Chains A and B, each alone.
Chain A
Amino acid sequence: MRARVWPLAAGVLIAAAALVAVSSLGPSTPPTRAAQAATLAGELRCPDCQGLSVAESRTAAAQAIRAEIVAQLSAGRSADEARQSFVDRYGDWILLRPTAPLVWLVPLLALAGALVLVTTWMLRRRARPVSAPATVDAVTRGRLDEETEALDA
C-alpha cells in the first residue's frame, strides 16, 4: 500500500511546486511608487536610532528621509538614484544591505567550502572497504539500530 503512495505524492508535490512558483513569480506589474518608497526606506538605516531601518523608525530624521524618498520618486528619479543620493550624504553606512561583493562572498564561499569538504570526506572514506557486516542488509541494519536505540536512553 505504501509503495503506491509515491506516484500520488509526486503528483501533489509537482502541483504544489508549480503553485509556489506561479505565486512567487506572480504577475509582473511594476511596483507602485508607494511600494518602491517603502522598499527603499526598509533598506536605509535610520541615522538617529539604533539598528532600525528608516521604514521602522519614528524619529524625526527617519520621517524626513521618508518624506524625501517620496519627494524624489515623485520628481521622477529612480529608486537607485534616490538611494545613491543618501549614500552621497551619509556614506555606505546608511545601507542596511551592503553593496560590496566581498561582504556577500565570504560567508557564501565558506558555506560552499564546508559542504564540499564534508561531502568529499564522506564519499572518499566510504570508497575504502569498510568493515560493514556483509551478511546484514541495510534495511535490517537500520531496523536493528532503531530497535536498540529505543532501548538506550
Chain B
Amino acid sequence: MRPWLRWLILPVLVGPVGWLLFANIGVDPRTIPSQLVGRHLPAFSLATLDGATLTDADLAGRPAVINFWASWCVPCVDEHPVLLDAAARFGGDLRIVGVVYHDTPDAARGWLGRYGDGGWPDLVDDGSLALDFGVTGPPETYFVDAGGVIRHRVVGPLTTVSMAEGLAAIGVGG
C-alpha cells in the first residue's frame, strides 16, 4: 500500500460524520411525516359537543381543516385565534372540524366558553379517530381537500404562516 493512501481515511471518516451532524441540526425529531398525506380520510361517525352526529361523508364536497385539540393542551390556546380567523375569512369555502382529544365534553365546552367558540362542530373522540389519523399529540391539524384526500398536516400549534400553507394545499384562499 502506498503510504499516502492512509490519509484517505481522514475524509472517509470525517466527511460522513460532518454530514450526519449538520444534516440534522434544525430538524425537529418530534415531527413524524404523516402516512396519511395523499390518502383518503379515514371513515368515522362521531357525536359532536352539541349532540349531533358527524360522519366522514358529511365533509365531502368542501375543503376541510380537521384540528385535534384538548382543554389540557397549553399550545392549543395559542393557535385558537388562528383558527377563528380562518373561519371568519373563509367560512363559506371551508369547513373546520375540531376533534376533542382525550378530554371530557364538559371540560371542552368550558374551554370554548373561555377562548371563543367559532361555531364549528367539535367531535368527541375516545382516541380511536386520533389513532386512525396517526395523531402524535395535540394540537395537530389535517388539511383535507374537496375530494376527501388529506393533503397536508401541521404538528404543533398553527401559526398564520402554517395555516396559509395548509390552506393553499387544499386550494383555499389561493
Contacts and interface: CB of A to CB of B under 8 A. Distances in A.
User: Do A and B have CB atoms closer than 8 angstroms in the complex?
Assistant: yes
Interface of A: 47-48, 60-61, 63-65, 67-68, 88-91, 93
Nearest to B103: A60
Interface residues of B, number: 17
A90 B155 CA distance: 13
Contact of B127 (A64, A90, A91, A93): A64
Contact of B102 (A64, A89, A91): A64
Contacts of A61: 102, 127, 130-131, 135-137
Given A60-B102, A61-B127, A68-B128, A89 B133 contact: yes
Interface of B: 32-33, 35-36, 101-102, 126-128, 130-137
Contact of A67 (B33, B35, B127): B127
Contacts of B135: 47, 61
Contacts of B134: 47, 89-91
Q: Which 3 A-B pairs have the closest CB atoms?
A: A64-B127, A60-B102, A48-B137
Given A47-B137, A91-B35, A65 B131 contact: yes
A88 B136 CA distance: 14
Given A60-B127, A63-B127, A64-B130, A48 B33 contact: no
A60 B126 CA distance: 10
A141 B172 CA distance: 86
Contacts of B36: 89
A63 B102 CA distance: 10
Contact of B35 (A64, A68, A89): A89
A37 B127 CA distance: 18
A93 B137 contact: no
Nearest to B127: A64
Given A47-B136, A68-B128, 19 more contacts: A47-B32, A47-B135, A48-B136, A60-B101, A60-B102, A61-B131, A61-B135, A61-B136, A64-B126, A64-B127, A64-B128, A67-B127, A68-B131, A89-B131, A89-B132, A89-B133, A89-B134, A90-B134, A91-B134
Given A61-B127, A68-B128, A90 B102 contact: no
B162 to A, nearest CB: 20
Contacts of A60: 101-102, 127
Contacts of A89: 35-36, 131-134
A88 B130 contact: no
B136 A64 contact: no
A77 B88 CA distance: 45
Contacts of B130: 61, 64
B144 to A, nearest CB: 16
B35 A88 contact: yes
26 contacts: A47-B32, A47-B134, A47-B137, A48-B136, A48-B137, A60-B101, A60-B102, A61-B127, A61-B130, A61-B135, A61-B136, A63-B127, A64-B126, A64-B127, A64-B128, A64-B130, A64-B131, A68-B127, A89-B132, A89-B133, A89-B134, A90-B32, A90-B35, A90-B134, A91-B35, A91-B134
